[in-house]
Structure 1
Amino acid sequence: MENKELCLVCQDFSSGYHYGIPSCNGCKTFFRRTVMKKQKFVCQFDQNCPVDKSIRCACRFCRFEKCLKVGMDRSALQASRDPIGYTKRNKKPERQLATEINSDESSSGSPERQISPVRTFENTLNLLSVKEKSANELRLSSYLPKRSLKQALCSKSLLNDPIFMSKHVIISPRHTCENLRFITQDDYHYWHERDWFVLTEYAKTFSTFKKMSYHDKVELVRHAAIVIPVLNQVYNSPDHGLDTVVFPDGTYYDRTHEPTRPAGLNRKKYQVLDLVLKPFREMEINFNEFAAFKAITFLNPDANVSLEAKHEINTERVEITKQLYAYMLQKDGLEKAIYRLQYILIHVQSAIFRFGRLILMGTTMSKMACESKEAVWIADFFENIGFTSFAKELFFGDS
């Protein structure tokens, strides 16, 4: 009879009892290797990362801690019966061995397996991808608290709270875009508020951000308040052509002129379509690349922050940029050329071109942000748009 028992670590289907508890082959292998090799891991967040079958590889520290918490027994391992690697006695065919070694990091439908084809840079890019996945889940949920900007920035990130994410995000009602309808002013308000809320939670997942003074936090978030929502809206939009951005609830905008909106905000809409949506679709940006580019865009030392904060922001930003370049080079260059060495130069040049084009979009985004903020100030001055108190704090300051 088929085993319906679940793994106590990641809730995938169990393959039986291993080291004292029902567990899947992936968690069994991960636990055995960690104990036998005496490996030590470090959590990049608050040591409470979610561990389930979809993102169980994201944080090895929290995964091992959960193994111990649910009852996996170190003493149940026997060196003679649970070796790491293989000997002449138990040597296995290469394909079978590779399958077993990777069993703890793969599962059918696993997001990180789908979006992380290059393992060399998996550690850095996977952390960013996990952040992005959680941020998008929060964006899709119905949870939207009423709070001040200070309350938002001084609290712990909800994205690092597995209990909150499980209760309010994973099982809460989600937006669906079964039927499309043209966007209204209320829809713009709603999705701007949602994206600003998610932005504050996303910001707090960066270690650099946590160390900043309150003033620096406000300025960095304020600097990102235009461009990060645009990136969210464009990348997560279902593909209805190069002239249409669709929100998760089915509302959309295109090149249709909206006479009730200020001219500056109409112009911003056309910029989003021409300068962001079109290049993203043409370059076929994948999830890892988007997560890294969004982090680079957010960590902008041009924000009005202190010199110390500028240095810390730039350090983290440069590291992510290097990882993104190496990832794109390997993905578009070496990986494609491995079977056709004569085309290496062509593929590497392709990777360099894509990387350069993506990074230089940052300049375009900054210019668009400046023009959009000017349009927002004008709209507020003439009272064309009724901004919420949170939006006014974000754009115009506490006063």
Structure 2
Amino acid sequence: MDDTRCSTSSENTIELPEILTPKATRSAQRPTKCLICGGVAAGFHYDVPSCNGCKAYFRRYIISDRNLKCKNKQDCFDLTIREKPIKCRPCRYKKCLDVGMNPLALEVDDKQADAGNFKKVTKRIKDQEENEEKEESGQSKQLVIQKIESMHEKIQKITDMLTYLESKLEQFQLSAYNPNWVDIQGIEYLLRSANRISLADRYGPMPGWPLSNDEYTSLPPSVIPVVRKGPPPYSPDKKHWLYFNLITNIEYAKTFMFFHKLNSRDQFILTKYVTLACLNLHVSYASVARKFDCRIQPDGLKQPVRDEDHYSNSVMSIIPLIRYEVQATEYVLLKAICLCNPAVPDLSEHAVVLLAKERQVFAEALFDHCLRNRTNGPSHFSDLIGIIDVLERQQRMQKDLHLLHIAPLVAKAPKEFKIQVIEDIMDS
């Protein structure tokens, strides 16, 4: 016989005490002792092992109007202080009730059911059952309330953490930290190094921001002319925003605990796939929050100009944010959902399971927020999740545009013109 199966041999059978044995098991066993008088039991009567005499006595007394009282200490049938009970009718009846004889198990006619003792005991039982049901119902409601409150507290902690993280990202973008792209040797270099967001405190804010329009005149209006001439000369007080925003969103991913549970290969694959989508959402929401319908960078630079190649795909993620009036909490949760993408190709099974679990947490938080704060909660949640499809289409268009127009030019340009972080992200 298979060792994993339960054994049914007699040597492994555990005998439960008679009073603790389940009713279905007790009914299949013949009781030996009457729980009322201590005599020989004839079977289970009214749910209790008892002799025929005690069975008959209980029936006679309960369908009567008798109200007898004990002339002793009301312990005549207490077998813990005497071997044999004293012949006392009220104590015998009381003992029947104490050991659990069930009056509702009696078959009675209308006249017998109207007897004083039967009505009194059955009412007491029904009242007790109702009280227990109310108590259980109250406990259940309390547990539900506690669970809802606990869930709300958990969701609040998540949204508070994400909101705080966004404030640190904004501070990072506005900081004077502005590394030359020659110093950042691609995604792997960023993933191996310490998180840079805290550098904002060390460097402080960039002086003189936002820049005036005159200060942008030397900057090319679109990416393609930049590549043809090489990237704009590095300036410590002006940032190459595609490059810097990619760094910002890679550092954003590195702040999550689950990200560090991924192996280096999965981190690299996930970063290449989701960073541009997170960047688009990040920049688009920041622009909409500042009442713009086009991209605007932290220093005040509007990008891009309204040219055919770039404008339409750059505002793809702005339009739904305006249409659905996306709130700050919805934005931070949606961005976290976008980061935790288990559908990224070539991820390990471990990564897929981990990302799916994390995405579910943020999705539940977003759904709860929509239910609490939107009159059309479920449909609004669906609209927000649909923005992720827009982000993925947008990044696909941007990567195709880069590979078609820019990558060939980068390949011919001198090495110092190549921004490796951009090439790593776009080459996927």
1:101-120 pair list within 5 angstroms: none
Q: Give the secondary-structure state (helix, strand or coil) at the position aligned to 1:158.
A: coil
Q: Which residue of 2 aligns with 1:224?
A: 274
The answer to whether the 8 Å contact 2:284/2:295 transfers is: yes
Q: Deviations over 1:21-50 (max 9, x none)?
A: xxxxxxxxxxxxxxxxxxxxxxxxxxxxxx
Question: Paired residue for 1:371?
Answer: 397
TM-score (norm. length: structure 2)? 0.53
Which residue does the alignment assign to 1:250? 300
1:10-159 to 2 correspondence within 5 Å?
A: 121-145=155-179, 146-148=183-185, 149-159=187-197
Counterpart selection for 1:204 from 251, 254, 261: 254
Shift of 1:394: 3.3
**Residues 141 and 174, structure 1, Cα contact 8 Å, conserved in 2:** no
Select the residue among 195, 202, 218 that pairs with 1:167. Answer: 202
Give distance in 2, aligned partners of 1:210 and 1:138: 21
* TM-score for the superposition, normalised by structure 1: 0.56
Q: Work out the CA distance in 2 between the residues paired with 1:194 and 1:242.
A: 21
By how many angstroms is 1:172 displaced?
4.9
Deviations 1:185-212 (A, max 9, x none): 4599811111111112111111111111
Q: Pick which of 174-183 and 307-316 moved more.
A: 174-183
CA contact (8 A) 2:166 2:332 kept: yes
Stretch moving more, 213-222 or 373-382: 373-382
Partner secondary structure for residue 188 of structure 2: helix
Structure 1 gaps, min length 5: 1-117, 333-346
- Give the Cα separation in 2 of the matches to 1:381 and 1:395: 9
Structure 1 residues 241, 318: CA separation in 2 closer, same or farther (over 3 Å shift)? same
Query: Secondary structure in 2 aligned to 1:250?
Result: coil
Match of 1:122, SS state, is helix
1:382 match: secondary structure:
helix
> Is the contact between residue 277 and residue 395 of structure 2 (CA under 8 Å) also seen in structure 1?
yes
Query: Any residues of structure 2 matched to 1:268-279 within 5 Å, and which?
Result: 269-273=311-315, 275-279=316-320
Are the aligned partners of 2:249 and 2:278 in contact in 1 as well (CA < 8 Å)?
yes
What amino acid is the match of 1:151? Answer: Y
Q: Using the TM superposition, give the Cα deviation of residue 355 of structure 1 relative to its aligned residue in structure 2, in angstroms.
A: 1.2
- 1:351-362 maps to which residues of 2 (within 5 A)? 351-362=377-388
Q: Structure 2: which 5+ runs fail to align?
A: 1-151, 233-238
2:352 to 310, 313, 325: 310
C-alpha contact (below 8 Å) 2:287/2:293 kept by paired residues: no
C-alpha separation between the residues in 1 aligned to 2:200 and 2:394? 33
8 A Cα contact 1:243 1:254, kept in partner: no
Residues 169, 252 of structure 2: 8 Å contact kept: yes
Code of the aligned partner of 2:202: K
In 1, distance between residues paired with 2:153 and 2:420?
45
| Cα distance in structure 2, aligned partners of 1:296 and 1:174 | 35
* Partner residue, 1:300: 341
Cα deviation, residue 215, structure 1: 1.2
Q: 1:293 to 1:240 in 2, by over 3 A?
A: closer
What is aligned with 2:285?
Answer: 235
> Structure 1 residue 241: deviation in Å?
6.4
CA distance in 2: counterparts of 1:190 and 1:388, whole angstroms: 10
User: In structure 1, the residue corresponding to 2:409 is in which secondary structure?
Assistant: coil
2:249 counterpart letter in structure 1: L
Q: 1:165 Cα shift?
A: 3.9
